[in-house]
Every structure is written in C-alpha cells, then in structure tokens.
Amino acid sequence: MALKATIYKAQLQIADMDRGVYADHSVIIARHPSETDERMMIRLLAFAFNVPADDKQGQLEFAKDLWDVDEPALWHKDYTQAVRHWIDVGQPDDKRLMRAAGRAERVSVYSFASSTPVWWKGIESKLTRATNLLVWQIEAAQSQALARLANRTMQLQVTVQDGTLWMSGATDSVEITPRRLTASA
C-alpha cells in the first residue's frame, strides 16, 4: 500500500523589504513520504522569496514535483495557465532545467546540499542557452537549521532585506543568505 502525503500548515507573515512585499499567507504543504523536513522547508523558503505582491498576474502555488516529473516544486501561473515562474529545489538535471527554461518566463533553482558546488560544476556549461535561469545555493548548515523549524502547524515570521532572509518560529530564528551561482537572468 502506498504511503500518503503528510499535510503541514504554515501561517507566514512576510516582510520582504527588497521587493516591497508585505503580506500574510496561509499555505498548506503536502509533504511526500520520501521528502525530508529540510527539503520541505526549502520549498517554503522559495515561496517566501518569490511570492508576488498581488494576484493580478496569477498565484504562486506548490506543485507536485515528487509525484509528477512534469511539475516543479512551485510555479507561478497566470490566469491563462502560462507558466511565469518555474521553481525547483534540490539538484535537477540539465535536461529538466532546459525544458523548464523553454516552458516558463523565469526558472529558479534552490539547491541546499553540501554537494551543490560539484553538481553545479557538472551542469553549468550545459545551461548557457537558458538565459532565464537563476540558480541559488543555500548553505547546508543554514538549510539544516531551517529544517528544525518544521512542525505540522507553523506560525512563521519572514523578513527579507538585502538578499538575506530571516525566518522565525515560536522558539528559534534562522538566517538564510542564498548565494547566486548563475551570471545571467
């Protein structure tokens, strides 16, 4: 019998001073049985970094990447269902990223494993045509600290300033400073 997803709920209070986005969001995250707290929290971090200021151009939504290989971790679709922003987490292969770059206006990747530099060195030269691709590295120690904030029900305050994100829960706070690996986009 297949295991079912575990449902997590998060109340996010976002103050993104870099983009001028100030809003509260209630999100429901379906955590795949094979997904770790670390990966799930990176998806939540990607949401906080990329949520649009308003819904005029559609919404940023959690997708079914672990269930469906044709979907990212998150995507922002407009009301015509065109993909404005494709967001992956982890270390997707170059073919997946090139397909995504052809399908979406923008593509972002948030890689969080200590092996990120090795992964990136192996695929970087294969992605030169993907001018709409941004790849970010989250240091492993930061993503592991972020995983400790995971609970089935979360109340999180998120502040973004000068490219650094602070996420605070009831008992702890984590500082995340993504490092950009791509030169374009």
Distance, in Å, from the CA atom of 42 to the CA atom of 1, rounded to the nearest integer, reads 28
Q: Hey, what's the torsion of the CAs at 51, 115, 156, 175, to 10 degrees?
A: -100
**8 Å CB contact between 114 and 140:** yes
**CB burial class (10 A; 0-12, 13-18, 19+) of residue 20?**
exposed
Structure tokens at 166: 């602070």
How many CA atoms within 13 Å lie on the side-chain side of 135?
A: 25
47-58: average pLDDT: 91
CATH number for the domain formed by residue range(s) 6-180: 3.10.640.10
Q: Which DSSP letter does residue 35 get?
A: -
Q: Which of 6-15, 50-59, 106-115, 142-151 has the lowest mean pLDDT?
A: 50-59
Taking only the tens place, the pLDDT of each residue in 95-129 is 999 999 999 999 999 999 999 999 999 999 999 89
3-class secondary-structure state, position 130: coil
Q: Would the pTM count as exceeding 0.85?
A: yes
More confident residue, 4 or 61: 61
Residue 185: the pLDDT is: 58
Taking only the tens place, the pLDDT of each residue in 120-161 is 999 999 998 999 999 999 999 999 999 999 999 999 999 999
Residue 48: the pLDDT is: 96
